[in-house]
Amino acid sequence: MQGTSINSQEGSRSGVDPREQFRIQQMPPNFYYVPNFITPEEEASLLQKIPAHRWVTLSHRRLQAHPSTLTKNNTLLGAPLPPYLVQPVVDRFKMLGIFDHTPHKEPNHVLINEYKRGEGIMPHEDGSAYADVVATISLGGSICLEITPKAVGSEGEPRESATISNTPAQKGPTEHLNEEHMNEALVDESKSQGPASQYRLPTRILQEPRSLLITTSSAYVDLLHGIASIEVDENLNKDTVANWDILGDSSVFEDAGGRNERATRISLTYRDVLKVSSAANKVLGGLGRR
Ligand SMILES: O=C(O)CCC(=O)C(=O)O
Ligand SMILES: [Fe+2]
145 pocket-lining for ligand 1 (C-beta < 6 Å)? yes
For the chain, list the domains and their CATH numbers: 20-150+199-280 (2.60.120.590)
Tens of pLDDT, residue by residue over 254-284, are 999 999 999 999 999 999 999 999 865 555 5
Tens of pLDDT, residue by residue over 197-222, are 567 889 999 999 999 999 999 999 99
169 pocket-lining for ligand 1 (C-beta < 6 Å)? no
142 pocket-lining for ligand 1 (C-beta < 6 Å)? no
Residues 237, 258 contacting (CB under 8 angstroms): yes
pLDDT (mean) for 166-193 = 35
111 pocket-lining for ligand 1 (C-beta < 6 Å)? yes
* Best of 142, 164, 170, 225 for a ligand 1 pocket test (most atoms within 8 Å of beta carbon): 225
Whole-angstrom distance, CA of residue 67 vs CA of residue 84: 12
Residues 267, 112 contacting (CB under 8 angstroms): yes
Whole-angstrom distance, CA of residue 238 vs CA of residue 175: 22
Residues 214, 133 contacting (CB under 8 angstroms): yes
Between 101-110, 168-177, 256-265, 280-289, the lowest mean confidence (pLDDT) is in 168-177
| 166 Cα nearest atom in ligand 1 | 10
The strand pairing partners of 152, in sequence order, are none
The strand pairing partners of 140, in sequence order, are 265
Whole-angstrom distance, CA of residue 269 vs CA of residue 111: 5
148 pocket-lining for ligand 1 (C-beta < 6 Å)? no
H or E segment and range at residue 77: strand 75-77
Q: What is the ipTM of this complex?
A: 0.99
166 pocket-lining for ligand 1 (C-beta < 6 Å)? yes
Between 1-10, 55-64, 130-139, 145-154, the lowest mean confidence (pLDDT) is in 1-10
The pLDDT value given to residue 283 = 54
Q: Tell me, in angstroms, the distance from the centre of ligand 2 to residue 256's CA.
A: 28
Cis amide bond preceding 202, omega within 30:
yes
Q: Tell me, in angstroms, the distance from the centre of ligand 1 to residue 65's CA.
A: 12
| Strand ranges (E), 27-176 | 31-34, 56-57, 62-66, 75-77, 109-115, 121-125, 133-140, 143-149, 167-168
| 143 Cα nearest atom in ligand 1 | 3
pTM, to two decimals:
0.83
Ion ligand 2: residues, Cβ under 5 Å: 126
Whole-angstrom distance, CA of residue 13 vs CA of residue 66: 34
* Radius of gyration over every alpha carbon of the chain, rounded to an integer in angstroms: 19
Higher pLDDT, 138 or 179: 138
